[in-house]
Amino acid sequence: MYIEQAFKGLYDWWRYIVGVLIIFCFWQIIGMIPLGLAVAYKMIRYGGDPAISSTQDIMLLLGSNLFLFVMLIAFSVGLIGVFITSKYLHQLPIKNLTTVRKKIDWSRFWFTFVLWGIISVSFIFIDYFIYPEEFQWNFQLKPFLILCAVGIVLIPIQTSFEEYFFRGYLMQGFGMIFKNRWTPLLITSVGFGLMHLANPEVEQLGYVIMIYYIGTGFFLGIMTLMDDGLELALGFHAANNLFTALLVSADWTAFQTHSIFKDLSDPTEMGFMEIFVPVFIVFPALLFVFSKKYKWTNWKEKLTGKLVEPEIENNINLNSYDAEL
């Protein structure tokens, strides 16, 4: 099963603490260097208020496309940090961090990507035709083409970082620590939701939006455990962020882009349809579709069962530890 893949590498508890620190340094320190350089360059060349106090100020200084580019670079560097940590600190190949299958099943990725792309685009256009007054035509060819280039290349990398870090590295790490499946699922799903606390959506919509973020975390985590791999979660997450960035943005969202439409609706009026329907209706329906297509069984064991350390793998791990001493 998926979490047990970690037994194929070095899985001492302290390695995961060191690994998280390494990944954090790549993501939040090294990855943010391009953003700092871009801000400094703009301020020196064109002048600007040195007292920049918010993400909105930085975006206005750089422009939305450049800001999106340098922000996504940080996630790309973070993904490199995850891969380096897995390979060299845990001696675990990227394939084992991705799936239990003999090779990564890209057909699963593309099936979920296309399926959720069609569904999410349909939701946006249905909303547009029902409430046209809440949308503004925002299309500008040149900025949109730049957005497409940046988004198509880097947004899947950004979402892959989040999947490999939460559903991959942390899921396996907490599994090694707690020796069960439900605790990693719970911690990574809640942690994924809490990561979005800094998003402007939380300020605008209130903490009720956390139901959506945490619910999405559980949805992605359940997919990963039931399917024994990250492929479905990678496809879903990439489609969700990419099509949203290209089609519609708003002044109060984390992704403010040169999208085709701008959402003019009052964010304080969002509620049941936007938050509760996806989590409690759409996501369970998708899990049902996936379960039928990929013949998922033994739900209780895969989601809540205990982990049993293979004896032969345990001996290999102890020998590796002795060799290090």
What pLDDT digit, counting tens, does each position of 287-307 carry? 999 999 999 999 999 999 999
Distances (CA, A) of 136 to 94, 139, 255, 260: 43, 9, 16, 9
Handedness of CA 126, 132, 134, 137 (dihedral sign): positive
Handedness of CA 300, 304, 305, 307 (dihedral sign): positive
CA distance 154 to 64: 15
Q: List, in order, residues 6 or more apart from 323 with CB less than 8 Å away.
A: none
Q: How many residues does the chain have?
A: 325
Which pTM value belongs to this model?
0.91
- pLDDT of amino acid 253: 78
Per-residue pLDDT in tens (0 to 9) along the chain, 325 residues: 899 999 999 999 999 999 999 999 999 899 999 988 988 888 887 766 666 656 777 787 888 899 999 999 999 999 999 999 999 999 999 999 999 999 999 999 999 999 999 999 999 999 999 989 989 999 999 999 999 999 999 999 999 999 999 999 999 999 999 999 999 999 999 999 999 988 878 877 888 899 999 999 999 999 999 999 999 999 999 999 999 999 998 877 777 889 999 998 877 666 667 889 999 999 999 999 999 999 999 999 999 999 988 875 444 454 443 444 3
